[in-house]
Amino acid sequence: RLSSIDLHRAVVNGEFLLFYQPQVRLSDGALIGAEALIRWMHPSRGLLSPAAFLTALEGSALAPQVGRWVIEEGCAQAARWRRQGAADFRMAVNLFASQFRTGDLPREVEESLARHGLPPEALELEITENIVLSDHSNAIDALARLRQMGVRIAFDDFGTGYASLSLLTRCPVSCIKLDRSFVQAMLHAPREAAVIAAILEMGRALDMDVIAEGIETEAERAYLAERHCPEGQGYLFGRPMPAEEFEARLGQAA
Ligand code: G
Ligand code: G
Ligand code: MN
Ligand code: NA
């Protein structure tokens, strides 16, 4: 198993990297941004996905440090791609719960944005309800400050938890990420389809973006576009990929 010595060495040697998965506007297919997803280039095991190490990392004291690096690297990459012509490019990064418990997340985010000359709306922070529920007042406070700065907040895996709806009234969320379990079921399950319709309506009423995750087929894309789901992400548009590969895609889109 991966040990804490392994993790510590990974941080010191810079063995983590980010892959990027496209996010598109469903009305016209425009590439509008990316979700940054962490990978670990392990010296003996090769390229590892989060499934192999995220639990160990989240349980270690190193998580806040790695989380800060993810934000910093995501901002650096977004700034590069904006300079190369993707003017409104948006980068989404995932947060660890411990990033709300140590340090000063809003200040760290502000510093990363400033270092790279990025406007706050170029950055989207993805949270899950577990993060907010595990650390109530602190997290909601920090999220309010971030939102005030103009940073976008996305509610990840929306619809799968117990408290999604009540949290929407207390969290300053700018975007709902519709969990892929709904998308995978919607074409053959009327109940899931009805839930999606209700979430899209709620997004419009609350002035929140909705991004559908896990779009794998053209039929799924067409169904969601027809129902005016604003944005999408999934293997149909691209798997998580290295920066160079993503950059080639951006070049084609320009
Ligand atoms: O990349 P993959 O598709 O295997 O990601 C699996 C999950 O790991 C994602 O859904 C996401 O919640 C989590 N994850 C990926 N990258 C990061 C990261 O940089 N930070 C945090 N906190 N979670 C991540
Ligand atoms: O939501 P989270 O941050 O947990 O989401 C990212 C995860 O979802 C990653 O593990 C990514 O590889 C996976 N993923 C992204 N697009 C698709 C898709 O179209 N289908 C499936 N099955 N998984 C996807
Ligand atoms: Mn996510
Ligand atoms: Na998700």
> Cα dist. 138→62, 71, 99, 149, 228 in Å?
20, 19, 10, 17, 35
Q: What does the pLDDT average to over 215-227?
A: 98
DSSP string covering 155-220: EEEETSSSSHHHHHHHS--SEEEE-HHHHHHTTT-HHHHHHHHHHHHHHHHTT-EEEE----SHHH
Q: Give the count of domains, the chain.
A: 1
pTM confidence score: 0.97
Confirm or reject: Cβ of 179 under 6 Å from ligand 2.
no
Instruction: Tell me the residue type at 239.
Output: R
Ranges 37-41, 132-136, 137-141, 214-218: which has the least confidence: 132-136
Q: What pLDDT digit, counting tens, does each position of 1-19 carry?
A: 788 889 999 999 999 999 9
Confirm or reject: Cβ of 231 under 6 Å from ligand 2.
no
54 pLDDT higher than 90: yes
Report the CATH number that the domain containing residue 175 is assigned in CATH.
3.20.20.450
Q: What percent of the chain has pLDDT over 70?
A: 99
CA of 250 to the centre of ligand 1 (A): 22
Residue with the nearest Cα to atom 24 of ligand 1? 94
Q: What pLDDT digit, counting tens, does each position of 189-205 carry?
A: 999 999 999 999 999 99
**50-58 vs 63-83: helix axis angle to the nearest 10?**
130
Note the ipTM here. Answer: 0.96
Residue with the nearest Cα to atom 12 of ligand 1? 94
Q: What does the pLDDT average to over 90-116?
A: 96
CA of 126 to the centre of ligand 3 (A): 6
pLDDT, position 254 = 63
Residue with the nearest Cα to atom 23 of ligand 2? 214
Domain range for 189 is 4-253
Q: Kindly give the number of the ligand 2 atom that is closest to the alpha carbon of 50.
A: 10
Residue 134: band (very low, low, confident or very high) from pLDDT cuts 50, 70, 90 = confident
Residue 20: band (very low, low, confident or very high) from pLDDT cuts 50, 70, 90 = very high
CB 179 within 8 A of CB 160: yes
Residue 104: band (very low, low, confident or very high) from pLDDT cuts 50, 70, 90 = very high
Confirm or reject: Cβ of 214 under 6 Å from ligand 2.
yes
pLDDT, position 231 = 98
